[in-house]
Amino acid sequence: MATQSKARPVRQQRRVKTQVQKVAKQVDSMVFFNLLTSPQLLEPLERLLPEFRERLYPPTETLAMFLGQVLSTDGSCQNAVNEALVNRVLSGLSVGSANTAAYCEARQRLPQEMARELARQTSTLLDAHTPRRWGWRGRHVKLVDGTTIQMPDTAANQEQFPQHEGQKSGAGFPISRLVGVISLAHGGVLDVAMGPYQGKGTGEHGLFRELLGCFGAGDVMVADSYYPSYFLIAALLKRGVDFLFEQHGARNTDFRTGEKLGSCDHVVNWSKPQARPEWMTEHEYDGYPDELTVRETKVRSKVLVGSFLKPREMSKLALGKLFVQRWHVELDLDYPS
């Protein structure tokens, strides 16, 4: 049974990737250009456009080409440029050079914040058109996870996103860390924070603090064992956000303590850590409660930590089924190669 349980998400992932690849083959830059200039996105897009001169590849067209390139089977800059030239011919426009240099330079001029804000706007549209029944018990479940990506080995990227310190200089690629918030209901990226792979304030928790504004009263956050920290949980509870995480391996869970709810299921109080984190001021530290009440429950082989304290309202089985849904964030963050 354990083997089948582990194999099922793998099969699901393969099916999803196959569907994504089929859709990607039907999408080109013109599709994205029409979306970007649609009534729903044109106004926010124009607000985010940088100042630019009339060029062969203006920002909107460049972004559309880049999105098409990312989803294309070929994935090369040359293919993106060739496709743009074909579209220009079909539109009766003059055809420029097939050299990729101008496109690559135009792509580098795209503001990072523009892509991030367009992702937010797209998710807002998805939220507005998502049936309420797609929610979990009428709640908006938001999945959180982090990943890393390698970037082109340029001097500018190396300065802002240094390569891993274990690699010899000139023998590695710049690395960026991403933390994303994804809707379980529709799979859209609600927001994303990006930073260097290493350095002060660049860990997943540091980046996630930039994303707390994504969460409001009534939301539910689901994440892996990296996230059940005292201060993060306190911040969520202050916002009226429920949560369900896998227990961190460094924390000892003793089901003989606390208020027993059932077999390997109890409510306990966590004490505030005595050590104040470096990123937190003393005033902020004093503002956190001295204790937090959480529920720890073991479902199969995992110990889960959550804010659902009443077993009659939320059984162990229900918690286990909800946490299984966390797997979707692994699929949604996975690059459709």
pLDDT of 5 strictly over 50:
no
Q: Does one domain contain both 252 and 306?
A: yes
Residue range of the domain that includes 22? 2-108
Q: Strand pairing of 302-306 and 291-299?
A: antiparallel
The mean-pLDDT minimum among 109-118, 151-160, 190-199, 256-265 falls in 151-160
Are 186 and 130 in contact by the 8 Å Cβ rule? The answer is yes
Which alpha helices (DSSP H) does the chain contain, by range? 2-25, 29-36, 39-48, 59-71, 77-90, 101-108, 112-128, 155-160, 204-208, 230-238, 282-286, 316-324, 327-333
pLDDT for position 123: 87
Measured between alpha carbons, how far is residue 4 from residues 1, 12, 201, 289, 300 in Å? 5, 12, 40, 43, 14
Find the CATH number of the domain harbouring 151. Answer: 3.90.350.10
Q: Does one domain contain both 99 and 198?
A: no
The per-residue pLDDT for range 252-303, each reduced to its tens digit, is 999 999 999 999 999 999 999 999 999 999 999 999 999 999 999 999 999 9
Distance between CA 332 and CA 196 in Å, rounded? Answer: 22
Q: Does one domain contain both 123 and 86?
A: no
Are 203 and 196 in contact by the 8 Å Cβ rule? The answer is no
pTM value > 0.75: yes
Q: Does one domain contain both 286 and 159?
A: yes
pLDDT for position 112: 81
Q: Does one domain contain both 147 and 252?
A: yes
Q: Does one domain contain both 36 and 123?
A: no
- The domain boundary, picked from 79, 108, 137, lies at 108
- Domain total in the chain: 2
Reading the block at residue 286, the tokens are 């004093």
Mean pLDDT of 143-156: 85
- The domain boundary, picked from 73, 90, 108, lies at 108
Q: Does one domain contain both 121 and 66?
A: no
pLDDT for position 6: 45
pLDDT of 337 strictly over 50:
no
Q: Does one domain contain both 46 and 139?
A: no
